[in-house]
Amino acid sequence: MSVAVCADVGSTFTKVAVVDLDGGGLVAAASARTSVDTDVLHGLDAAVGAAVAGLGARDVPWFVCSSAGGGLRLAVVGYEPLVTAQAGRRVGLSAGADVVHVAAGRLGRVELTALRAARPDVVLLVGGTDGGDAETLTHNATRLARARFRVPVVLAGNVDVRDELRALLVSAGVPVTVADNVLPRIGVLAPLSAREAIRQVFLRHVIGGKRLSRGGRFAGLVRAATPDAVLTGVEALAEVAGGDLVVVDVGGATTDVYSVLTPDERASGPGREVAGSLWRARTVEGDLGMRWSAPGVVRAAVEERLVGEAERVELVVAAALRAADPGWLPADGAGRAVDARIAALAATVALRRHARGVGTGERSGRDLRDVRLLVGSGGVLRHAPDNDGTGVLDAVLTDHAGGWALPRAARSVVDTDYVLAAAGLLVGDHPVAARGLLRPLLG
């Protein structure tokens, strides 16, 4: 049997799947605590060792993604807040980044201070359609160069001045990677080139810079940021499923929502978005999580009128305990029930925001009525009692008060084997195996 190791090094746990490259089946799986306090390779090697034990496999290829150490922090600097800056934000999210700052217009001293304060790992510098305005993009690149801004820059703006601005940044010692314009024409969003450039900058500069491991072995193993790998897996799943789908990933610090929709007449009609539409999209809710961000779940649920006063008091205490000790796991039924409730609230609020367009900048939100498959991911769903985390997803599919159109005929399933990230890592080199790994999610 020809197999490969697929590993996701998360902030808390490292998950490993051993995949049959011939048939695409899951051969074995294991997990271990991510050893961020020493060297992440300790936890990674332990998880891989447990997964391959007894298989007798040698020289097995490794495919690794990582969100350890906070993942990829991205700042976007654009021209207009509702056009190129928003287009850049959408592209950043699709590249698996945590977009920590968005600036629009000409950078001044105050704006540069705010940009530095956001502590980005990468800056996505955009502005102007091809052949359009170049003044703002030129001004912003010049300010970054004069400020000796050492954070790597992905330059993905007006193609007319791209080479000139690249030379300017390089001469100032700013690491720069050139990509195609994310908004070559009004209403046309072109994310692929910038997404690939962000991925390469993440691998070259960010992984090693976080000092997660001694030496260069870990940086050499990592192929993508985890959200980037998951979105690639979601895209592959949509191709296998042949229809619209949504994935909700409830984590310890964030709740991510991925959706793949079929383009319709709005993509080119009079109601189109001037910043373009991403039919494959991701939103990140940094205030919604099971541990670090549990208090944020309670606050958001109160704002959305999902909980009453009595339950709010109970949840405030439970959320505070989870935030204070993120490594804690409930040992009894009552603790697991509270976890399930927090997860249901996080997923519901995240889906409401995603559908409304919150965090995407879309005026009309995202139309999820034709979604046929709702996939749940995250440890709280995978380790739910009786291996059934669909109760959390039921809360989403019966949420009639959120102000968004519910999927009309969606089936829910939990990614209990954690195959989305593995499939995303494999699909480029082993597409048949990746699709075979995803098919069980379709029932």
Chain segment 109-144, per-residue pLDDT in tens: 999 999 999 999 999 999 999 999 899 999 999 999
What number of other Cβ atoms are within 10 A of residue 258's Cβ? 27
| Statement: residue 95 has pLDDT above 80 | no
pLDDT in tens, 45-88: 999 999 998 887 678 999 999 988 777 889 999 988 767 788 88
| Statement: residue 14 has pLDDT above 50 | yes
pLDDT in tens, 320-353: 999 998 878 887 888 999 999 999 999 999 999 9
Angle between helical axes of 135-146 and 162-171 (0-180°, round to 10): 10
| Phi/psi of residue 37, nearest 5 degrees | -80, -15
pLDDT in tens, 220-273: 999 988 888 998 999 999 999 998 999 999 988 889 999 998 875 444 444 444
| Phi/psi of residue 366, nearest 5 degrees | -115, 125
| Statement: residue 374 has pLDDT above 70 | yes
Find the length of the chain: 443
Question: Which among 197, 95, 103 has a CA at the least distance from the CA of 154?
Answer: 197
- Yes or no: is domain 73-206 CATH 3.40.50.280? yes
Question: What pLDDT, on the 0 to 100 scale, is given for residue 269?
Answer: 46
Residue in the structure block whose two tokens are 């339950």: 311
User: Which pTM does this prediction carry?
Assistant: 0.82
pLDDT-based confidence at 386, cuts 50/70/90?
Answer: low
SS (H, E, C) the chain: CCEEEEEEECCCEEEEEEEECCCCCEEEEEEEECCCCCCHHHHHHHHHHHHHCCCCCCCCCEEEEECHHHCCEEEEEECCCCCHHHHHHHHHHHCCCEEEEEEECCCCHHHHHHHHHCCCCEEEECCCCCCCCCHHHHHHHHHHHHCCCCCCEEECCCHHHHHHHHHHHHHCCCCEEECCCCCCECCECCCHHHHHHHHHHHHHHHHHHCCCCCCCHHHHHEEEEHHHHHHHHHHHHHHHHCCCEEEEEECCCCEEEEEECCCCHHHCCCCCCCCCCCCEEEEEECCCCCCCCHHHHHHHHHHCCCCCHHHHHHHHHHHHHHHHCCCCCCCCHHHHHHHHHHHHHHHHHHHHHHHHCCCCCCCCCCCCCCCCEEEEECHHHHCCHHHCCHHHHHHHHCCCCCCCCCCCCCEEEECCCCCHHHHHHHCCCCHHHHHHHHHHHHC
Token pair for 90:
């959408």
Q: Which amino acid is at 99?
A: V
Q: For CATH 3.40.50.280, list the domain ranges present in the chain.
A: 73-206
113 burial type by CB count under 10 A (0-12 exposed, 13-18 middle, 19+ buried) = exposed
What number of other Cβ atoms are within 10 A of residue 406's Cβ? 16
| Statement: residue 208 has pLDDT above 80 | no
Conformational region of residue 190, where left means phi above 0, alpha means psi within -120 to 50, and beta covers everything else: beta
